[in-house]
Each structure stands twice: as structure tokens, then as C-alpha cells.
Amino acid sequence: MVDLHAAAKACLAATDPAEKLRLTHAVWAAVQSDQLRPDPATPLPEPIGAPGRPAKPQLVSARQVPQRGLGSAEGRAALVHAVAHIEFNAINLAWDAVYRFRGMPDAYYRDWVSCAHDEARHFALLTARLEELGHAYGDFDAHNGLWEMAEKTAHSDTARMALVPRVLEARGLDVTPGMIERLRHAGDEATIAVLEVILREEVAHVAAGTRWYRWCCARDGVDPFDTFFGLLRDYLGVSLRGPFNRPARLEAGFVEAELDRLVALAMAG
């Protein structure tokens, strides 16, 4: 296989997590050695559907996912499982960005293959920690919000770059420091070590979303500020939640005016 789009499709379709991780790392290695490139003659992308994933976890609405305290090993396992599910979805999201959106610069594809590789490492770290806590991926129910947004934005690279990395994944930059603080009170240094790696590396993923969102806006001749908030309104309404991790978001390419507007919208909502 020499076509990157076909390789991305294979990674996306893999249902067994171990196989998805193996394929992901192999494709990243092939891209690094310039053995895989997008083939303009490859078939057009198929309509988006469910990605390859195991039978468990059972997917439920976000409101049905139970909230557990971090004072018990079970509660900490539930938290680690929730983050692992986000990272598993993020692998699929990165591969769909490679598979679905055609005719982009080579740097775009390299960025998202690199992100898939990182997300796969994060998932492996989290599932190893989950095993130490006596559980496995699939033991708890999970929600499908990240992938639902991928389906809603499958028609538009601009909307995808704006709303998945810069809204849903950026939320991880906002909430992870609070998780780390709660885990510190619980004395769970092992989980903290994993989350600190993820937090540090997720900044670059959100930055990739920012970079390619702005590239799409420049290509289409639209204003990135107004377009971003228009997309937020159209897809998410006004139901934004703070607080926002301003230093991490600035590092990920947000500008002060965007953050000020986000804070104002969250307060108004």
C-alpha cells in the first residue's frame, strides 16, 4: 500500500484497539520515511459512518455516564476509562481528517498522522494504567460526543478544524488541570503522570487544528474570527462552559480576542 488515504481508511476501520494502534504506528513510520503519500487517483471518501471500534464500551448519552468520586480506585478507574475513550475517539478523528479531506498540503496530512500516532500512545498509556487499577477498556459505559461532531462536520474541512480540535479537544486543555489537582488530593501520582504527558502533547494537537482552520479560512477568503463564532453558534448554540485554560489555549494558537469572546459567551450562557 502506497496511498495514504487508503492507509488511513484501514486504520479507521480497524475494530480491535491493539490492531488500530499497530496500524497507526506503522503508517506514521511509513510517512516519516516518505513511503506513503496521498494518491490523487484514490477513490473518493465514502460517506461517514461509525468508525472501527470494539463491541464495548457501550455508548450512551453523556447524561447517562455515571459520575464517580476519585476517592476510590473504582472512581479513578472510571475517570481513566473516560479519558481513554476520548483518546480512542481522537485516533479515529485524526484518521478521518486524513481520509476524508482531499487535496490538502502535505503538511496537513503529516500533522494529522502525527496526531493519530500521539493519540495511540496516549490510549496505550491510559489502558495500561486502567489495567493497574483492575479494569480494561470497555468496562464502563461511554458517550460518543466527539464522533457525533465528526459526522456533523464531514462535509466541511473548515467546520471540522474549527469544532473538533479547537472546541471539543481544546476542552481537554481546560479540564485536565482540575483533574490533576483532584487526583493529587487522592494521592494518585501514577495517573497524574499519564495525564501530564497528555496535557502537554494535546496543546500541539489543538495548535494543528488552529493552523489548518486558519489555512481553510484563507483559502476560502473568510474572516477566521467571525467564521469561528458563526460555526459555534450554528453547531453548538450558546451552551459554552468555562473556565478556559488561557495559557494553554494561547500556546495552541488562540488569540486574546477569541478567548475574551469565549469567556463572555460562557458567562452569558
Position 228 scores a pLDDT of 98
**Whole-prediction pTM value?**
0.96
Position 72 scores a pLDDT of 87
Position 12 scores a pLDDT of 98
Location of C-alpha cell 455508548: 59
Q: Where are the domains of the chain?
A: 74-268
Position 1 scores a pLDDT of 59
Position 137 scores a pLDDT of 97
Position 257 scores a pLDDT of 97
7 within 8 A of 27, measured Cβ to Cβ: yes
Position 198 scores a pLDDT of 97
Cα separation of 181 and 189, whole Å? 10
CA dihedral 140, 89, 47, 214 (to 10 degrees): 150
Cα separation of 56 and 6, whole Å? 26
CATH topology of domain 74-268: Ferritin (1.20.1260)
Position 240 scores a pLDDT of 81
Position 242 scores a pLDDT of 87
Mean pLDDT per block of 10 residues along the chain (269 residues) reads 92 98 98 94 95 95 77 92 96 98 97 98 98 96 92 98 96 96 95 97 97 98 98 86 94 97 89
Q: Residue 119 — φ and ψ, nearest 5°?
A: -65, -35
Length of the chain equals 269
Query: What is the SS3 assignment for 103?
Result: coil
Cα separation of 163 and 93, whole Å? 12
How far from each other are the two terminal CA atoms of the chain, in whole angstroms? 49
Cα separation of 160 and 164, whole Å? 6
